[in-house]
Structure 1
Amino acid sequence: MDKSYARKRFSQNFLNDQNILNKISNVVDLSNKNILEIGPGKGSLTKHLLAKAKQVIAFEIDHNLFEYLKSEFTNSNFNLINKDFLKEDLSAYRDFYIISNIPYHISTEIVFKIFENYQNFPEVVLLVQKEFGKRLCAKVSTKDYSKLAPSTSLFYEATYCFDVDAKSFWPQPKVTSCVVHLKRKDKKYDVDYQDFLNFIKTSFSMRRKTFWNNIKQIYHFDFNYFQLICNEMEINKNIRPENLSLDQLLVFYKKLKNKSINN
């Protein structure tokens, strides 16, 4: 394959820094693990994963790269799939560890797909754009806190591992990257996870608006009940979503859900 091959529509920036590749493959102990890789590209990370893991299953949407990888890797513990990860049924991939340099333009869609199947993935290591990684790991009431942080916290403990310079890629992206590690929580929440995820997304749907102005579109009763909840929680009724922790969002969700069911 031509070394210059990279398709912009698939957000392809190939990692070729051996030091960074080593660091990524050492974030989690891969021995005897099943690994799922999203968008292996030219296989630089795949090579490191295959050397350590029990098996690697990789999704590659680009047919040309799929054919290239098929000819490059004949390992018996490698299974290459020419499908779109976002459209795949992931129920069969139980107890898989996700290790990937994911396409930056669909990072949000990919992490929410992982969240929706969190029971299958004990740990996740992602190479992402730095700003995105900071949002995954952000603390409440900081500038990086958005729907991503509480959504991540519902399922995983997020750790910001290290930065990755643009010079580590070809072609070089115009942004700094980073590696984040997600470790699945033992704690279980007594909620419908998908419904609560939708509630979080709605809560942050318009960042400049207050929490109430975002959620009133799904809860059709007057402001007085919302204000009553705020008083009970000693929270300002004009609070913005970026100032609400996961636990506070859970309290609002349960109380508002219960009220809407009983109305």
Structure 2
Amino acid sequence: MMKRLLLLSSLLLSVAHGAPVEKTVTYEQGGVTLEGFHVYDDATSGKRPSVLVIHQWTGPGNYEKGRARQLAELGYNVFVADIYGQGVRPVPPESGKEAGKYKSDRKLFRARLDAALEQLKKDERTDGSKIAAIGYCFGGTGVLELARSGADIAGVVSFHGGLASTPGFAAEKGKVGAKVLVLHGAIDPHVKPEEVAGFEKEFNEAEADWQLTAYSGAVHSFTQKMAGDDPSKGSAYNAKADARSWEAMKVFFAEIFK
């Protein structure tokens, strides 16, 4: 009898929360096939706030899928972008070279970001007035490019991303409609204080709505356990900064999606 009750309770809980629906999505930009990842909870029907996730420098993988699942559990419709192209999943040092292609060609970078955003926008579950983008490292740079480009979304969140722009692609006054949240490692050696200051100046002059939070003791990649635990290497996981930044994102979403 007890086993039957436990089984019934488990089934009821499963029905209440629904089940995650996950699928690989192929799409194209500039003749290149891209492979994204879509996840949502089927307990909810109809349109809902949606989130675009931009990957770090090794391309979309298990880390991004894990974050997408976490977001889906919060009720969001989530799409993980592929900036590089189907099957292009480099490891260091090749990943640095691949990321560099897009950082040095912001026009191409923005085209790939826009292609992913369009995939999310055209999904029947997406509430077009409630879209955000989040990104990690390379992806953190990417979401700021979306904001700079004037993308029609509610907000962006950059987790330990690069903050510098390039000539001709800086944020312009009156054109940044998305609210911006930057979550930064206070001692990140890859994003130096002058780069932070440059970001602040750029977005102030653009009259954008932005926030920047720096986490003490955190270096680059502070949300990623695969970065290891040695801050002296410049990239390392920081559990406190990881937890605090995720909560900051949730508070930000509550504001922009209200």
What interval of TM-score do these two structures reach, taking the shorter chain for normalisation?
under 0.3
Q: Which has the higher contact order (CA 8 A, sep 6+)?
A: 1
TM-score norm. by structure 1 comes to 0.24
Report the structure number with the largest CA radius of gyration.
1
More strand by share: 2
TM-score (norm 2): 0.24
